[in-house]
Amino acid sequence: MVAGNCGFTIAPTRPEHHHVIVQTLENVEDMNAASLTEGIVWDFQTYPEYLELVASRGTLLNFACYVGHSSVRLFVMGDAAYERSATPEEIERMCQIVVEAIEAGAAGFSTSFAYTHRGMNGLPVPSRFAERDEVEALFMAAGSTGKGVVLATAGDQCTYADMYELQPRIGRPFTYPMFALTDGRNQPQLDLQNEAVAKGLQVWPQVTPRPLTMQFTMDSPFSLNVSPVVGALMDQDRAARIAAYSDPEWRTRAAADLAEQPMRPRWETCEVSESERHPELEGERVDAIARRWDCDPFDVICRLAVEEDLSTRFRIYIANDEPDSVGGLLAHEQMVLGLSDAGAHIGQLCDAPLPTDLLGTWVRDRQVLNVEHAVRKLTGEPADIFGFDRRGYLREGHWADVCVFDPATVSPGPMKRVRDFPAGGERLTCEEPTGLRHVLVNGVPIRVDEVELPLGDLRPGTRPVLV
């Protein structure tokens, strides 16, 4: 697993900023703040110290992590990271930290300039306050190590076109998220990518076979926080949220603001997922309910939520739900599998079964890829892009990371909701795949004959080395 995407890492950090990082992860990635506060062992400040702590505690799977721009910025600038551009001296210090982190084993440098990424108190995350000189300096610092990958989520400071211009200058592979969007809205990025392949540029958009769906409640309406009107409630208490949702004037204002957003909700894909008081509505689209009730779809959501004390669950499709478009991205000659938010938004989605979904749905059922191509995309291709030493291939002298599956039966299996995180945090999980026979991590079996082994304190995972 490679963590720390979009510039969000818990290292480097200072003790006075622990709550800032927790709140950022809560607001941006919908992680449970109580689970983070109870579960994280803050026995580190620098990035090398963080990696040493991970190694000492051990991991079940092999674990790598980017060094994140927002954390580096907060470490160097303090609270000013949320307020202003950096000075030349601060940029130089940030560059030193990035180099130090990658030399210590970070998988590369990650950042985000996406307008949807808001952290503490609803403010833009620190990386969004960076000017272009800071962005280029940090990219150059990452490139100077000769190791790892640069990941960026595009925005004003670094557009999609900028990445294709910067990559040959930085000298390291670039990656960014690419979803299959409705009405061909990602065609400009596809055109850039096709030109890049012809030029030999090492830009690898991340794509996923999974539809981008979110389950949410109006107690934590992460999917709707693209609207500043809705986002302003992020730091309000439950009473304030219920009061807003009960106010027809506020609902009208919020619905109008949502309709103006570039990533506005597609109400025709939003459905009632769980409702104790109205089970007859489960699985029904909110736009159909709105037509019956003669109101706006957002009114439907708010009215149901208030009636059930904000416990009603909704599911909305955001992107990647058109099979032909998704299949075209998966079959592209220079796209890398990624975009799994497994570990984030865990109460709303579970992307951990991405590999079994690829092998079952897109190889066996839809025949978009053959099995050899799919296995290559799951193993050797990402290992080569990152430069992981002796990973991704079944070869003598390589690490024995092995997965044995049955092509005829492999599938993700059922999804369920459990509460097993620190502080009683809940998550969606997909822990009963079919056709996944055996799994070995560094030669140690962790699954045999489709049964997870009781490993106790055994942690066979390591940190992949970059070359």
Q: Classify 135 in phi/psi space as left (phi over 0), alpha (psi -120 to 50) or beta.
A: alpha
Q: What is the pLDDT of residues 404-456, one digit of tens each?
A: 999 999 999 998 989 999 999 999 899 999 999 999 999 999 999 999 999 89
Tokens representing 285 are 């689209």
Helix (H, G, I), strand (E, B) or coil at 340: coil
Residue 249 lies in a domain: yes
From 304, 319, 334, the end of a domain falls on 319
Predicted confidence at residue 29, as pLDDT, reads 86
Residue 306 lies in a domain: yes
143, 136, 145, 204: which is closest to 172 by C-alpha? Answer: 143
Domain count, the chain: 3
From 386, 420, 437, the end of a domain falls on 386
Q: What is the pLDDT of residues 126-151, one digit of tens each?
A: 999 999 999 999 999 999 999 999 99
Residue 391 lies in a domain: no
Say yes or no: 104 and 120 in one domain.
yes
Residue 219 lies in a domain: yes
Say yes or no: 200 and 52 in one domain.
yes
Whose tokens are 């595009």? That residue is 154
Q: Would the pLDDT of 183 be above 80?
A: no
Predicted confidence at residue 408, as pLDDT, reads 98
Tokens representing 299 are 């009114």
Q: Would the pLDDT of 122 be above 90?
A: no
What single-letter amino acid sits at 146? G
Q: Classify 12 in phi/psi space as left (phi over 0), alpha (psi -120 to 50) or beta.
A: beta
Q: pLDDT band at residue 231, thresholds of 50, 70 and 90?
A: confident
Predicted confidence at residue 27, as pLDDT, reads 84
Q: Which DSSP string do the residues of 38-64 spell out, in sequence order? A: HH-----SSHHHHHHHHHHH--SS--E
Say yes or no: 134 and 271 in one domain.
no
Answer with the residue of higher pLDDT: 237 or 120. 237
Q: Would the pLDDT of 347 be above 80?
A: no
Residue 396 lies in a domain: no
Predicted confidence at residue 458, as pLDDT, reads 92
Say yes or no: 267 and 144 in one domain.
no
Q: Would the pLDDT of 319 be above 90?
A: no
Say yes or no: 203 and 224 in one domain.
no
Domain that holds residue 410: 402-452
d(CA 403, CA 88): 48
Say yes or no: 157 and 36 in one domain.
yes
Say yes or no: 151 and 221 in one domain.
no
Q: Do 109 and 144 meet the contact criterion of CB atoms below 8 Å apart?
A: no
Q: Would the pLDDT of 342 be above 90?
A: no
Q: For 4-8, 47-51, 222-226, 283-287, which range has the lowest pLDDT when averaged over its residues?
A: 222-226
Predicted confidence at residue 215, as pLDDT, reads 83
Taking residues 302-312, what's their average pLDDT?
95
Say yes or no: 407 and 448 in one domain.
yes
Q: Which residues contact 169 (CB under 8 A, 6 or more apart)?
A: 140, 143
Q: Do 92 and 133 meet the contact criterion of CB atoms below 8 Å apart?
A: no
pTM of this prediction?
Answer: 0.88
Residue 393 lies in a domain: no
Say yes or no: 413 and 423 in one domain.
yes
Say yes or no: 130 and 73 in one domain.
yes
d(CA 314, CA 214): 8
Residue 201 lies in a domain: yes
Q: According to the per-residue pLDDT averaged within each range, which of 207-216, 373-382, 423-432 is highest?
A: 373-382
Cα 456 to its chain centre, rounded Å, is 29
d(CA 4, CA 413): 27
Q: Would the pLDDT of 222 be above 80?
A: no
CATH no. for residue 202? 3.20.20.140
Nearest-Å Rg of the Cα atoms of the chain is 22
H-type alpha helices, 65-202: 69-77, 88-104, 132-144, 160-170, 187-199
Q: For 133-137, 267-271, 317-321, 436-440, which range has the lowest pLDDT when averaged over its residues?
A: 317-321
466, 458, 454: which is closest to 441 by C-alpha? Answer: 458
Residue 464 lies in a domain: no
Q: Would the pLDDT of 262 be above 80?
A: no
Q: What is the pLDDT of residues 3-49, one digit of tens each?
A: 999 999 999 999 999 999 999 998 888 899 999 999 999 999 999 99
Taking residues 383-394, what's their average pLDDT?
97
Q: pLDDT band at residue 254, thresholds of 50, 70 and 90?
A: very high
Q: What is the pLDDT of residues 238-252, one digit of tens each?
A: 999 999 999 999 999
Q: For 138-152, 215-229, 300-314, which range has the lowest pLDDT when averaged over its residues?
A: 215-229
B/e letters for 72-91, b = 16+ CB within 10 Å, e = fewer, are bbbbbbeebbbeeebeeebb
> CA dist 200 to 194, 197, 204, Å?
10, 5, 11
Q: Do 338 and 351 meet the contact criterion of CB atoms below 8 Å apart?
A: no
From 386, 412, 432, the end of a domain falls on 386
Say yes or no: 202 and 143 in one domain.
yes
Say yes or no: 140 and 262 in one domain.
no
